[in-house]
A and B are shown apart, each in its own frame.
Chain A
Amino acid sequence: MTEILRAAVGVFATLAPFGLIPAFLAVSRNGREDEDARADRTLPLTVITALVVLLVAVVITDLFLGFLDVSPESFQAAAAVIMAPLAVRLLWSGRSLGLGEVATSRPWLLPLAIPGLAGPASLGIVVVYSGRYGEADAAVAVTIAIVAAGALLYTGDFLQRRLGARAIGVLGRLSGALIIAIAVELAVDGVRSV
């Protein structure tokens, strides 16, 4: 159970929902107290799509690593490198997506679900955790993390009103620092593993 929770925290960190709140609020009314909010399906579509993508990543980890001819331990270093751009972006701006990026015909898919939630960083860590903890535990961890991220996005409007945009930005930056810490742990563990 401890391992599942540890993995869930790791996945949640790479989903970086605090950094996604501004972009999410720009296109969704989910969580707001008006008529349009009930009709808006952005949040469920985003969350379900991201969950499916990440669960597929969990299931195909062995196939994927076999296709690449890479051992899970070596992949950890790659996952660490892949996380770096997201971490830098979060540290720099507090956001994982720019507001200009959500001007698409299906923003729940592109860019909110992919790569907003199910991006290279979260996919990378999901592959690592699937190899490290096994598919079942990794799938549970992904589900917990996605549900938590969805809940956070749902309360995004409330949080922004209560805390202010600046505080959300600070939390986004903290997410970036957390991702760097996770990336370092992955890289070090990859180097020290058999």
Chain B
Amino acid sequence: MIARGTLLSFGLWIVLLAFVRVAVIPPESCGIESEERIAESAVAAAAWMTRNQNADGTYVYLYYNESDTIPIAYNEVRHAGVTMSLYQAAGRLGDREALATADDALAWMEENLVRQDGWAALALGGRTDRPPLGASALMVIAMAERRLATADTQYDDLMREVGRYLTVLQRDDGGFHVAWRIDVDAPDTVGRSRFYPGEALWALALLHEAFPGEGWDSHARDALHFITTLRDDVEDVSFPPLADQWTAYGLAEMVEWGLTDLQIDYARKLAGRFGILVRTASQREGSWYGSLLRGEDARASGVGTWTEGLAGLWRVAAYDDRLADIKDKTEERLHCIAGILADRQFDAEEAEEYDRPGLIEGAWFHEGETRMDDQQHAFSGIIYALDALAEHQMREPEETLE
């Protein structure tokens, strides 16, 4: 005999457990499991970026697949970012077409430089009076990636020249002004950007890697100190640390220089931040009610940045024993999120259903729209996720292109 109270108690528990299952822990799904197919996804993304370059060196910025329209819009920060990814494709995949495309894009950037007092900064049309820090930081990174992919040193002086713009904008606390106001010859002290400091950090770290002994490392260390101690407060981040993949790239570059306990702790928290984003994304994929409860899918540029961030932190964990405990978990998450990305990408068969399959195949669409950085971040995230799965700790390509 079972008391009525006990039966009631069991009934309430079943209701609670059902609620927990649906609302708290919906099933997680990781899309494509095959690493080979995930790698194919990266190749297709690189092909999209290569194929969709305009004659002047810019890329197709936005495309709406339902209306088959390409709006007139452009952004030089994202231009530099896509170029960076193409140089990564050149180095990683031995992709000569990607190299040629990126070189054309780099030539466009050279044509759009603003020069003053020994520094150069990338700025597009309307923003030449205030060249944004992020565009120049990513341009430096793109050139550094080119140097790693080809061992060609022809852009070294330009790297230094653009790099000097980053140091001009660095504040005493290690943070950065967002731009230099050409009209009044002073930094823009009003504008703000959450991600520019991370971009500048990675650029400065790469400058030190390329030109050791020139002092770039002290700027990078100051930037990392700012990011790990002040940025979240300064930028009023609601859920710190800010999910910033650029900082993860920077940490991965600087881990060999030696990181403080505080910086390692920050890296751990950042990995957790990306980890929960990945788990939430996998819960969206796992069931029909997952997407109802967790909201719509993030666009590929967002998902790609989480992947890039985790991959950068995997390198930190692989190098520094203080994070050894999160290495395996990070690999699991990377496999999962790279699989989700590969699964959501439009393949050749789906592309054939559209008027211009060349703008579809290898792309990620969000509500009928793809933006060039969707392909950029997804591509970079996937190739570095594959590195982690292959235990390939060095970020540099194993062979350089002639």
Contacts and interface: CB of A to CB of B under 8 A. Distances in A.
Contact of A115 (B3, B5, B9, B28): B9
Given A82-B20, A101-B3, A193-B272, A74 B25 contact: yes
The interface residues of chain B, by DSSP majority, are classed as helix
Contacts of B25: 68, 70, 74-75, 77-78
A78 B10 CA distance: 18
Contacts of B29: 69
Nearest to B2: A104
A39 to B, nearest CB: 22
Contacts of A101: 3, 5-6, 9
Nearest to A102: B3
Contacts, number: 83
Interface in B1-21: 1-3, 5-6, 9-10, 12-13, 16-17, 20-21
Contacts of A110: 2, 6
A111 B272 contact: no
A103 interface: yes
Interface stretch (B57-65, B155-163, B275-283, B362-370): B275-283
Contact of B13 (A71, A105, A115): A115
Interface string B72-101: 000000000000000000000000000000
A120 interface: yes
- Kindly list the 7 A-B residue pairs having the minimum CB-CB distance in the complex, ordered from nearest: A194-B275, A69-B27, A192-B272, A194-B329, A101-B5, A78-B25, A78-B24
Interface of B: 1-3, 5-6, 9-10, 12-13, 16-17, 20-21, 24-25, 27-29, 269, 271-272, 274-276, 279, 282-283, 286, 310, 326, 329-330, 332-333
18 contacts: A68-B27, A69-B28, A69-B286, A71-B28, A71-B282, A73-B275, A77-B25, A78-B24, A81-B16, A81-B24, A82-B17, A85-B13, A101-B3, A101-B9, A103-B3, A115-B13, A120-B13, A194-B274
